[in-house]
Amino acid sequence: MNTKILHVDPSSIRFNKDEGIETCTPVFTDPKTKSYLEEASSILRSHKSCIGFPTETVYGLGASSLSDESVKSIYSAKNRPLDNPLITHVASLSQLHRRILPPSARIPDIYLPLIEKFWPGPLTILLPVEDDTILSRLTTAGQDTFAVRIPSHPVARALIAMSDEPLAAPSANASTRPSPTLAEHVYHDLRGRIPLIIDGGPSNVGLESSVVNGLTNPPMLLRPGGISLKQIQEVGHGWENIITAKKTANASEPVRTPGMKYKHYSPTAKVILFVKCGDGVKAIQEALSRYPNSNIALLTGSKFEIPENVLAQFAIVDHLGSTITEMSHNLFAKLRSLDENNMDYIFIEGVPDAGEGLALMNRLSKAAHETISNDSK
């Protein structure tokens, strides 16, 4: 299969502010962007294959949530295990009601303040799934809930509105690889396996959406992401009590928080993560001495102060970012680019595993082969 890449201009898409998230009618000032998204929409409406498209978090691999055939195309293009359910993306609340929910269904009250504050944006909620749902059961992987969000990326929202297909879309990487934040990343992993990638420039946030379950009491944070735990707690109305789901350590256990048991976000190089290591000098020197004759890269944050003579022992030294927002935005792209440079090891300066740092540390610990912490001494 030939994989086509079409470049679109996100700044050429406008939404009527009065519509809010109730409805979505995109207006295009660039005819090429409009015609490319029409081309993408017709593939999505055929229910035969999935395509790569940009969202504000990471690139998604999208296909209609309403047909088994299209959802299967996602699992097979990615090599994704079938027990890891998918997020459905809609353009507006009216589309969610009209295309997915039964006529009598209401969104549970607990979600309303959250939706009001964070949609469109990087927050995914779980809704109950009815026995006679129109959703492909392959999107829910046997759960009695389905995950849904309204993305804020103009290209994603316009595409979903134009095709009028709710899109099941995991991150558009090959399973276990770092999520893609550029169209090139999608091409690298899925070339020949999908017909089309819409290139709308870099994904802003860089980490996936936060996934919350408000159907349990207390509500649960299933995956930290683009909206921080603190931002969610500040909404109140029950969300101040939100608890964080624990990882399922044992891969043979049934999947309680699906997706948590799998290896994730891994470059080919082995990631060594440094936490609570102060200025990093001692920990880095010790670790370097354990891997002689290796190609090692160092990705720094804001605390490490490594002297020149130590830096000289690395094949590549790069700055991940000075703030958590910057580090999150850069992480996946930097891991991928270090892989292109054939590193054996990537040393990464971590951040405190709390508050704003929760989502970044979640991805870093899943990518890590080993974590070096002063705490363990």
Residues that bind ligand TXA (CB under 6 A): 55, 57-58, 60, 84-87, 122, 124, 126, 140, 143, 145-147, 151, 169-171, 208-209, 211, 222-223, 258-259
Q: What CA–CA distance (Å, rounded) separates 286 from 221?
A: 36
Q: What CA–CA distance (Å, rounded) separates 235 from 256?
A: 26
Cα four-point dihedral sign 157, 158, 162, 163: negative
Give the one entry of ligand TXA, Mg ion, none that residue 8 binds, where binding means its C-beta sits below a cut-off of 5 to 8 angstroms depending on kind. Answer: none
**Shortest spacing between CB 53 and ligand TXA, in angstroms:** 8
Nearer to ligand TXA, 46 or 143 (CB): 143
Q: In what helix (H) or strand (E) does residue 63 lie, and over which residues does it extend?
A: strand 60-64
Give the one entry of ligand TXA, Mg ion, none that residue 145 binds, where binding means its C-beta sits below a cut-off of 5 to 8 angstroms depending on kind. Answer: ligand TXA
**Shortest spacing between CB 371 and Mg ion, in angstroms:** 21
Only one of the segments 166-174, 216-224, 268-276, 356-364 lies at the binding site for Mg ion (rule: CB under 5 A); that segment is 166-174
List, as residue ranges, the binding site.
Answer: 57, 80, 84, 89, 145, 149, 169, 171, 179, 209, 223, 265
Give the one entry of ligand TXA, Mg ion, none that residue 143 binds, where binding means its C-beta sits below a cut-off of 5 to 8 angstroms depending on kind. Answer: ligand TXA
Cα 295-297-290 angle, rounded to 5 deg: 60
The yes or no reply on residue 171 touching Mg ion (CB under 5 A) is yes
Pairing state between β 210-213 and 220-223? antiparallel
Q: In what helix (H) or strand (E) does residue 233 lie, and over which residues does it extend?
A: helix 229-233
Give the one entry of Mg ion, ligand TXA, none that residue 126 binds, where binding means its C-beta sits below a cut-off of 5 to 8 angstroms depending on kind. Answer: ligand TXA
**Shortest spacing between CB 320 and ligand TXA, in angstroms:** 20
Nearer to Mg ion, 136 or 171 (CB): 171
Q: What are phi and psi of 197, to 5 degrees?
A: -125, 125
Cα four-point dihedral sign 158, 156, 135, 79: positive
Only one of the segments 31-39, 88-96, 135-143, 169-177 lies at the binding site for Mg ion (rule: CB under 5 A); that segment is 169-177
**Shortest spacing between CB 223 and ligand TXA, in angstroms:** 5
Region of 235 (left: φ > 0; alpha: ψ -120 to 50; beta: rest) is alpha
Q: What CA–CA distance (Å, rounded) separates 32 from 297?
A: 41
Q: What CA–CA distance (Å, rounded) separates 186 from 229?
A: 29
Nearer to ligand TXA, 160 or 269 (CB): 160
Give the one entry of Mg ion, ligand TXA, none that residue 147 binds, where binding means its C-beta sits below a cut-off of 5 to 8 angstroms depending on kind. Answer: ligand TXA
Cα 202-311-204 angle, rounded to 5 deg: 10
**Shortest spacing between CB 179 and Mg ion, in angstroms:** 5
Give the one entry of Mg ion, ligand TXA, none that residue 203 binds, where binding means its C-beta sits below a cut-off of 5 to 8 angstroms depending on kind. Answer: none
Q: Pick from 45, 42, 39: which is nearest to 4 by CA?
A: 39
**Shortest spacing between CB 335 and Mg ion, in angstroms:** 14
Collapsing DSSP to helix, strand or coil, 352 comes out as coil
Q: Which residues bind Mg ion (CB under 5 A)?
A: 171
